[in-house]
Amino acid sequence: QYLERMRMNMNTKKIYNVVWFDDQYATLIGIQEQAHLNGIKLYGFSNAKDGIEELEKNLEKYDAAIVDGLFYKEPGQTGDTTSPHALFEVGKKIVELQPKKVLDWFILSGQTSFTKDKHLFAEAFKNNKVYDKNKDEDLKELWKDIQEAADKQPLTQIRHKHQKVFDVCKKNYIGEDASKYLMPILYSMEHPHETFDDEQHFNGLRKILEHVFRASNKFGFLHDDCITKRGVNLTWSSLFMKGEDNKNMRDKKINKSKRHFSVLLGKMVDLLRDVTCSASHTEQDGSYIEEDKENKDKTNYYEYKDQIQSNYLLYSLT
């Protein structure tokens, strides 16, 4: 019973994604284990350049950052080429990214030039607040401060509220890109009074559905020919997963299989496909792509949008 309670606690614990700049991150196993026990998942980078590129690409993924006092500026550097200027570069970039997202960050160092003395960059960025990686009490304080700071972040709150959903948005399931499409919609649902153009996000929902079908194919449920050179054929994919087919599929020797979607889920997927294709995947002249021409009764999104000015259609599909 004790072990079962422990498993349940681990499954329900909040998970924090933290980018970690440290040239020795791979060998600091004790710090990694402590972070893990506190629900903190560390993504390590030995140099400023690679880590900054990751932040620019996936800023919304991270809840906080940890930065060493001395580490490498460029990839491929080794030995004694560590520099405090790497910290400066990372701190400057985090400040530059604030219009997109305010990311709390913390200096963790084992160097006495940071932990015992005042350092120019630590003083400038953090009022010389430095956590000593050689002191257990400092590490405990660091984990606590990261959690408290991250819990104030709107995107972190959304990720924790829908954690089971974001657990599926990983590379071993439907892929991390799915969370990029999902997050701004969920943010809008939590902040309905902020300006929000819903039309662009129907394409995001469509992309998520494509990721689901690609994963279904990867795991052996969906026929290979439902994934074409042009991309995912959503019509064929949804039919196949419902245990159905149509003439075009039979002509391609894609015969129906056992039902993988329940009747209700199949109807929901059809609605999601029809509306998102109508809203997001038309040619400039208004005609639908070839795949969508199979659906003669396609929902006319633009007619609906002209009559009803709200985001609720997007929210309900989400």
pLDDT digits (tens, 9 = 90+) for 84-111: 899 999 999 999 999 999 999 999 998 8
Distance CA 154, CA 138 (A): 27
Average pLDDT over residues 207-212: 95
What pLDDT is recorded for position 282? 45
Residues 6+ apart with CB under 8 A from 10: none
Q: Please name which of 86, 91, 85, 124 lies closest in space to residue 106, comparing C-alpha atoms.
A: 91
Res. 37: pLDDT tops 50: yes
pLDDT digits (tens, 9 = 90+) for 277-312: 887 644 433 333 445 555 544 567 777 777 877 888
DSSP designation for 287: P
What pLDDT is recorded for position 127? 87
Q: How confident is the model at residue 22 (pLDDT cuts 50, 70, 90)?
A: very high
Residue 16 near residue 147 (C-beta atoms within 8 A): yes
Average pLDDT over residues 195-204: 82
Distance CA 189, CA 201 (A): 13
Residue 240 near residue 223 (C-beta atoms within 8 A): yes
Residue 318 near residue 205 (C-beta atoms within 8 A): yes
The amino acid at 250: R
Q: How many residues does the chain have?
A: 318
What pLDDT is recorded for position 191? 87
